[in-house]
Amino acid sequence: MLRKLPVLKESARLRYFTFLYLYIMQGIPSGFALTAVANYLTGKGLSSQSVGTFVAIVGIPWIIQFIWGPIIDRYQFSVIGHRKQWIVLTQFMAFIASLSLLFIHDPVKQLGMVSLAFFIHSNFASVQDASVDAMAISIVPESERGRVNAFMRGGYLLGIALGSAGLSTILYHSGFFYAALTQSGLLLVFTIITYLIKLDQADSYIPAFNIRNKARVVKEKLNNPQLKWLFKQLYIGIITPKSLRTFGVIALVYTCNSVFIRSYSYHLIHTLHWQYNSVSVLQGGWGTLATLLVTLGGGVLADRIGAPKLQTKVMLAICLFLIVFNCMGGLWLHKSLSVSGLILWNFADPMFSVAAMPVLMALCRDKVEGSQFTAYMALVNFCDVMGAYISGWAMTYVGAPVIGATCGALVLLVLILRYINRPTVEPMLLKPQLDV
């Protein structure tokens, strides 16, 4: 008798692998658009505002991502696996959108078309991301969430490395067409893998129409919550004082991170005249393996000492780095210092995400976990987009060192306020319950 293949609900190893490669798939287009192409446009002489606007356009669909969460939860049932139909469909459509980039001959002269193509791709990718997040929070045991988030962020880092360093190298040596073709091929391969992985042994690859499956369809559809109820519970979950305070801190850190790295990258290319490809490779290539190992270690640490405590420690490290490194802005002419700062910064965002994501998951309410977590991710994406826009605007008035030091001071101020207002006994992070 043939041994049954493992499924997501029964295999922790398969969960780790699946969420790793799903986030690799998400990271590749992100690294290509927001790092490789953005640095390419900067290297070709476009202004910081033009590059910032391009990044903002690409990120707009990720801002409205919260809309998809309740819809995905409302129509979550599928005989191929709950929410899997959303993932497979949007992955395939993202692949089709990626193919449209093959018609771009000169990204600088056709900037409007490039922006539109990436914008369309981002729409499908954002639904895919929302579907993956909803599936993760529904099938991953709470005891695994730190590690699974580490694999998610680690996968995203690897995807960023492939998209920024790998595709930037192809863009630099072979041209935009071959970089876009490589991205499209990778997306197609990952889509096929997603289709082949099952969530449950009862799931099917092809819809069946016998009586037993019809009864299962009716039962599952009756259990799907109403859309109006989902949006109401989502609103209640997000506006609670605890949710607002917790997410407000996380949002500020993500925004500051985005403002600094965008302004620093522009400074290296535009002011210090680095090759755009060199910056992309450093941002996504060197140190990726070390960053991945540190991120996975952070996931284990988050499960052991608690995500809130790890979040505070990472915030302190970020603010100290931003203040000290940017105060040394006059020494950035020395390439060894600039390179070291860029590589070291690669640890900041993933480590903070490993700590912050379990904190946000714990805030999510029963039966709307996917919708609420997706809403938080949409707001995090909004922080990244706003950071890109703010940095592009701020660079027209002040230099990158001033911008970065200001970001560090803001994070430090939040830490001081949290310390002053801390409770005598830190409460346990409990999962909110639904109102009865």
Percent with pLDDT over 90 in the chain: 26
Mean pLDDT of the chain: 82
Alpha carbons 312 and 326: distance in angstroms, whole number:
21
DSSP 207-242: ---SHHHHHHHHHHHHHSPPHHHHHHHHHHHHHSHH
Helix (H, G, I), strand (E, B) or coil at 107: coil
Task: Band the pLDDT of 358: cuts 50, 70, 90.
Answer: confident
What count of other Cβ atoms lies within 10 Å of the Cβ of residue 296? Answer: 19
| Average pLDDT of the segment spanning 229-244 | 84
DSSP state of 200: S
Tokens, residue 402: 């001033």
pLDDT given for residue 427 in this prediction:
47
230: in domain: yes
269: in domain: yes
Task: Band the pLDDT of 223: cuts 50, 70, 90.
Answer: low
Lowest mean pLDDT segment, chosen from 204-213, 347-356, 376-385: 204-213
Lowest mean pLDDT segment, chosen from 88-92, 116-120, 162-166, 320-324: 162-166
pLDDT given for residue 404 in this prediction:
94
278: in domain: yes
| Average pLDDT of the segment spanning 226-230 | 75
Per DSSP, helices labelled H in 100-210 are: 111-139, 145-161, 167-174, 176-196
pLDDT given for residue 281 in this prediction:
67
pLDDT digits (tens, 9 = 90+) for 95-139: 999 999 999 989 999 999 999 999 999 999 988 888 888 788 778
Range of the domain at 315: 12-420
Q: Give 290 or 328, the one with higher predicted confidence.
A: 328
6: in domain: no
| Average pLDDT of the segment spanning 28-45 | 87
pLDDT given for residue 172 in this prediction:
87
pLDDT given for residue 284 in this prediction:
58
pLDDT given for residue 424 in this prediction:
53
Task: Band the pLDDT of 429: cuts 50, 70, 90.
Answer: very low
Distances (CA, A) of 70 to 54, 178, 359, 393, 432: 29, 38, 21, 34, 18
pLDDT given for residue 84 in this prediction:
84
Distances (CA, A) of 349 to 56, 129, 242, 322, 329: 19, 18, 23, 13, 21
Alpha carbons 298 and 179: distance in angstroms, whole number:
33
pTM of this structure: 0.68
What is the domain count for the chain? 1
Task: Band the pLDDT of 435: cuts 50, 70, 90.
Answer: very low
- CB neighbours of 336 closer than 8 A, spacing ≥ 6? none
What count of other Cβ atoms lies within 10 Å of the Cβ of residue 28? Answer: 26
39: in domain: yes
Q: CATH number of the domain that 194 lies in? A: 1.20.1250.20
pLDDT at 236 exceeding the cut of 90 = no
pLDDT given for residue 304 in this prediction:
78
Lowest mean pLDDT segment, chosen from 158-172, 277-291, 406-420: 277-291
> Do residues 41 and 357 touch, judged by C-beta distance below 8 A?
no
pLDDT digits (tens, 9 = 90+) for 141-159: 877 777 787 788 778 878 8
E strands, 11-110, are none
Alpha carbons 117 and 98: distance in angstroms, whole number:
7
273: in domain: yes
> Do residues 206 and 85 touch, judged by C-beta distance below 8 A?
no
